[in-house]
A and B are shown apart, each in its own frame.
Chain A
Amino acid sequence: MSITLDQVTKHYGGMPVVNDVSLDIGDGEFFVLLGPSGSGKSTLLRAVAGLSGVDHGRISLHGRDVTHVAARKRGVGLVFQNYALFRHMTVAENIEFALRVRWVRTKARRQRLKELLRLVSLEGLERRLPAQLSGGQQQRVAVARALAHKPEVLLLDEPFGALDAKIREELRRTIREVQRELGITTVLVTHDQEEAFAMADRIGIMNLGRLLEVGAPHDLYSRPATRFVATFLGAANLILARRSADGIQVGGSTIAAVDRPAGAAGMQEHEVVAVVRPEEVELAPAREALRSHFVAHGVVSEMVFTGPLESLRVQLQNGRHAPQLMHSDGESTADQLLQVTRTQHEQRGFAVLPGQSVAVGVRRAHVLPTPLSSFTACASSTALAESLSREPLLTALAARMKTRIALRSEPRLGVSDAACSEEQEFVGTTVIACQADCAHRAEWLLRRGVQDLLVLPAGARAPQRVLIHWMGEAVRSATLAMSASVLRHLPAEAVYVSIVPGALAGARGAPGMRELLDARSEAQAAHGLEMRTEMRFGEVAQELAARLAEAPGQMLIVGISDLTRFAERFRPLLDGGQWPVLIVHRGPA
């Protein structure tokens, strides 16, 4: 491996800017770090270059641990967005800088200069000053300068940001050619997904300091695992759908899913988030004329011509089976605008105008593997449910997840033996307020089919640390999946807390340790979740409550498979707690 990052973490003012990033980049690979501004990608690159230290974790280059090695001894080449050329030096002096520092003889230096000038096609300009070159030429000089000392790794920090479109394309090709010719391991940081697609062997997508997904461009585009990647990498319609053994049910028809092979054949029907790319949507004059699965009728509300493609927004008509679109603001009820792109060919087949009624079909849909689909604020009255739905942490989560918060009123919530007042079963994550007999209410809901339950104290803020624990191996995988999903939307660190019963402290030390390591490696391998581990001794609920009380800004995700004596066992954790608790329940009600 050329570059190995192991749990690299960097904080600024208490907030993690780079959060537990682990990554392997192979020899000669062209790796692109993609993310919005402020996602931590540049900070990570600077950490690799040695220009900023890390608070935690290790960085190795070609097997050499360089975590505490100064930038000038790391042997990397770095190219900045604003070129950072030495303005008082000529092109030749700039390129030769690294060689002069190393006391390379004049003859060898001239030789290398010639090679590099040829490599970046700047022959004949060596006696110019940077100010006399165009932006594209200056960046070529910067690339040549960064390569002069034959570094093992080339790092590019948004190198095309300051250039106009045409030059950008040209320079992109040059850099890709140079990289292939030299076979040098390269990391490029950008916020431009088109650039990432054009250059990368593999792309790593960052958001809120976390490395969310890593993969080949095509895999990431067609099979994203997270909402963020689905919407950041190209446009996507996120639809709340129902997944059953047959496929995905969107607006009345069932579409065969293209996602990873379904785990169990006898899968329980549940709510999922489906990704429909705008180019996978078909428009036709009537339902019968569609060649794909019909999902709804709609009205064209907006049309933009972009050359090769036509980009439209279609207002879906509300109906009983209308698909639930998810929007960035978390509102799913207001505007049901579906993004559609069509080729010239499709347009000629069926030309549409704004205001026209169309039948909408979907060719392909991909289901996100996240267990977090939507939220339902549940309380004993609609008014209470509504005030609960305005809790800051809940609205923040819903907005980041681009999902909706439904309301549900259960007047007899917590009354023993009372049935649910609404017939509809519970979907997604149910949310209740944290209050006096909270454990009791939680049990009531869990016994009536709720699988994921968030207990929210009033005014809770986004946590800085999320503690993870599960009781019973049956629920381990579900808890990890849920934790990974939640943590993608929060800039918090994850800590797995293993609890060994107090009486067995001495005897069970070693197995407890193995459990810890297993949990960590599963989280990493199956869910891409980096977490730290802690071990405690004692009774589970008490220990967790004690750990949560230690510092503010913590949240707990706990997996359970057994509801026996639930209220009694979890009273110290739930009743009147100042921390949010997410309960993941799998098993008999």
Chain B
Amino acid sequence: MSFRQPSVLPGFGLTFGFTTFFLSFLVLLPLAALVLTAGSMHWSDFLHVVTSPRALGSYRLSFGASFLAAIINLVFGFVIAWTLVRYEFPGRKLIDALIDMPFALPTAVSGIALTTVFAQSGWIGRYLEPLGIKVAYTWVGVTLALTLISMPFAVRALQPALLEVQRELEEAAETLGAGRFYIFRRIILPTVLPALLTGFTLAFARAVGEYGSVIFIAGNLPLKTEITPLLIVIHLEEFDYRGAAALGVVMLVMSFLVLFAINLLQAWNRRRHLQEVR
């Protein structure tokens, strides 16, 4: 590798230095500290903490609800992005701007707002109550909160990809005899698949790490509606730093595995095309 590559910004050497420094200082160092703290525990203590029924229940809720939220966002994020990209209507710019609201809002505010609406006496909750549907203080509420806060990630990842799908491609397919569903399945979906996966990944990652909005609507019943980040905070409040670190390491590993798997999927998708060529 040569550090002499001409470019607009000053020197590759300098920028590469910054890149590695910031990554190490801000990302890798704290993570290493986390692993080290957990590592100072005895092996059996570690296992005891991370496999306690309460911890297992929280993993299921955290990852399950995040997965579900990411899936929901994949479908509806696609619809929203499609509407914003393909149609001209009054207020389009406004809606486009509103998508980013969950980014800007403190997540606690989102949580409180959702709880107000979906609590048993809330605007919507009071009508759902007689139907036997409970949203607030159940896993449904958790999923709802996670869907809300991770929605912009899915939409923003899909928008540029959908802009890329030229209408001419659809028209070409149409003149060749393809129906709408066929065009969607064979032309549009394959073109935006990488963006769909990226959107899913981002939404999932964001949802797994979410804390602020969930704790208000979840009710936080151990084993039922307690997410892993909350469990970590509970350990911290009991001054059990090691226990908290142990749970943190588990989350870290699982998140890493999920992201890694999706990246593999992306790479496989890309390679599949290149292989067909040879």
- What residues make up the interface of A, taking CB atoms closer than 8 Å to B? 49-51, 70-74, 76-78, 80, 82, 84, 86-88, 90, 97-98, 101-102, 127-129, 132, 142, 145-146, 148-149
B171 A72 Cβ-Cβ under 8 A: no
Besides the known contacts A72-B174, A77-B176, A84-B169, 9 further A-B residue pairs in the complex with CB atoms under 8 A apart: A71-B171, A78-B171, A86-B169, A101-B179, A127-B277, A129-B276, A132-B277, A146-B175, A149-B177
A476 to B82, CA, bound (A): 56
A86 B177 Cβ-Cβ under 8 A: no
A90 to B277, CA, bound (A): 8
Q: Which residue on chain B has the smallest CB distance to residue A71?
A: B174
- Chain A residues lying within 8 Å of B169, measured Cβ to Cβ, are 84, 86
A97 B176 Cβ-Cβ under 8 A: yes
A71 to B276, CA, bound (A): 31
- What would be 7 A-B contacts, judged by CB atoms less than 8 Å apart? A49-B171, A72-B177, A73-B177, A78-B172, A129-B273, A129-B277, A148-B176
- Once A90-B277, A129-B277 are accepted as A-B contacts, the answer to whether A84 and B171 lie under 8 Å apart by CB is yes
- Chain B residues lying within 8 Å of A76, measured Cβ to Cβ, are 175
CB distance from A85 to the nearest CB of B (A): 8
A108 to B166, CA, bound (A): 30
A149 B176 Cβ-Cβ under 8 A: yes
A443 to B3, CA, bound (A): 90
Check B190 for interface membership: any CB of A closer than 8 A: yes
Q: Which residue on chain A has the smallest CB distance to residue B168?
A: A84
CB distance from B161 to the nearest CB of A (A): 12
- Chain A residues lying within 8 Å of B176, measured Cβ to Cβ, are 72, 77, 97-98, 101, 145-146, 148-149
A84 B182 Cβ-Cβ under 8 A: no
Q: Mark B236-278, 1 if CB is under 8 A from A, else 0.
A: 0000000000000000000000000000000000000100111
Q: Which of B175, B179, B276, B277 contacts A51 (CB 8 A)?
A: B175
B277 A82 Cβ-Cβ under 8 A: no
- What residues make up the interface of B, taking CB atoms closer than 8 Å to A? 166, 168-169, 171-179, 182, 186-187, 190-191, 273, 276-278
B177 A101 Cβ-Cβ under 8 A: yes
B168 A97 Cβ-Cβ under 8 A: no
- Chain A residues lying within 8 Å of B190, measured Cβ to Cβ, are 88
CB distance from B60 to the nearest CB of A (A): 37
Q: Which residue on chain B has the smallest CB distance to residue A52?
A: B171
Q: Which residue on chain B has the smallest CB distance to residue A78?
A: B175
A97 B175 Cβ-Cβ under 8 A: no
Q: Which of A72, A86, A88, A90 contacts B175 (CB 8 A)?
A: A72
A88 B171 Cβ-Cβ under 8 A: no
Residue among B171, B175, B273 with the highest chain A CB neighbour number at 10 A: B175
- Once A88-B191, A127-B277, A128-B277 are accepted as A-B contacts, the answer to whether A82 and B178 lie under 8 Å apart by CB is no
A50 B175 Cβ-Cβ under 8 A: yes
A142 to B176, CA, bound (A): 11
A581 to B172, CA, bound (A): 47
A73 to B174, CA, bound (A): 9
A98 to B278, CA, bound (A): 24
CB distance from B183 to the nearest CB of A (A): 9
A80 B172 Cβ-Cβ under 8 A: yes
- Chain B residues lying within 8 Å of A88, measured Cβ to Cβ, are 190-191, 273
Q: Which residue on chain B has the smallest CB distance to residue A142?
A: B172
A406 to B190, CA, bound (A): 65
A77 to B175, CA, bound (A): 6
A50 to B175, CA, bound (A): 8
CB distance from B3 to the nearest CB of A (A): 32
Q: Which residue on chain B has the smallest CB distance to residue A73?
A: B177
- Chain B residues lying within 8 Å of A78, measured Cβ to Cβ, are 171-172, 175
A97 B173 Cβ-Cβ under 8 A: yes
Residue among B178, B179, B182 with the highest chain A CB neighbour number at 10 A: B178
A86 B187 Cβ-Cβ under 8 A: yes
A101 to B179, CA, bound (A): 8
- Chain A residues lying within 8 Å of B187, measured Cβ to Cβ, are 86
- Chain A residues lying within 8 Å of B177, measured Cβ to Cβ, are 72-73, 98, 101-102, 149
- Chain B residues lying within 8 Å of A142, measured Cβ to Cβ, are 172
- Chain B residues lying within 8 Å of A49, measured Cβ to Cβ, are 171, 175
A507 to B189, CA, bound (A): 67
B178 A97 Cβ-Cβ under 8 A: yes
- Once A84-B172, A88-B191, A127-B277 are accepted as A-B contacts, the answer to whether A72 and B166 lie under 8 Å apart by CB is no
A39 to B33, CA, bound (A): 69
B172 A72 Cβ-Cβ under 8 A: no
CB distance from A86 to the nearest CB of B (A): 6
- Chain B residues lying within 8 Å of A97, measured Cβ to Cβ, are 173, 176, 178, 186
Q: Which of B178, B182, B186, B191 contacts A87 (CB 8 A)?
A: B191
CB distance from A584 to the nearest CB of B (A): 45
A71 B277 Cβ-Cβ under 8 A: no
- Chain B residues lying within 8 Å of A87, measured Cβ to Cβ, are 191
Q: Which residue on chain B has the smallest CB distance to residue A127?
A: B277
- Once A84-B168, A86-B169 are accepted as A-B contacts, the answer to whether A71 and B191 lie under 8 Å apart by CB is no
Q: Which residue on chain B has the smallest CB distance to residue A82?
A: B168
Q: Which of A71, A80, A98, A148 contacts B168 (CB 8 A)?
A: A80
Q: Which residue on chain A has the smallest CB distance to residue B274?
A: A129
Q: Which residue on chain A has the smallest CB distance to residue B191?
A: A88
Q: Which residue on chain B has the smallest CB distance to residue A46?
A: B171
CB distance from B233 to the nearest CB of A (A): 45
CB distance from A429 to the nearest CB of B (A): 43
Residue among A72, A74, A77, A142 with the highest chain B CB neighbour number at 10 A: A72
- Chain B residues lying within 8 Å of A71, measured Cβ to Cβ, are 171, 174-175
Shortest 4 CB-CB contacts between residues of A and residues of B: A98-B176, A84-B168, A84-B172, A78-B175
A51 B171 Cβ-Cβ under 8 A: yes
CB distance from A127 to the nearest CB of B (A): 6
CB distance from A433 to the nearest CB of B (A): 43
- Chain B residues lying within 8 Å of A77, measured Cβ to Cβ, are 175-176
Q: Which residue on chain B has the smallest CB distance to residue A87?
A: B191
Residue among A49, A50, A86, A146 with the highest chain B CB neighbour number at 10 A: A86
CB distance from B165 to the nearest CB of A (A): 10
- Chain A residues lying within 8 Å of B175, measured Cβ to Cβ, are 49-51, 71-72, 74, 76-78, 146
A128 to B273, CA, bound (A): 10
CB distance from A70 to the nearest CB of B (A): 8
- Chain A residues lying within 8 Å of B174, measured Cβ to Cβ, are 50-51, 70-72
- Chain A residues lying within 8 Å of B168, measured Cβ to Cβ, are 80, 82, 84
- Chain B residues lying within 8 Å of A149, measured Cβ to Cβ, are 176-177
- Once A72-B174, A78-B171, A148-B176 are accepted as A-B contacts, the answer to whether A84 and B166 lie under 8 Å apart by CB is yes
CB distance from B84 to the nearest CB of A (A): 23
CB distance from B278 to the nearest CB of A (A): 8
- Chain B residues lying within 8 Å of A72, measured Cβ to Cβ, are 174-179
CB distance from B221 to the nearest CB of A (A): 47
CB distance from A15 to the nearest CB of B (A): 18
A132 to B273, CA, bound (A): 12
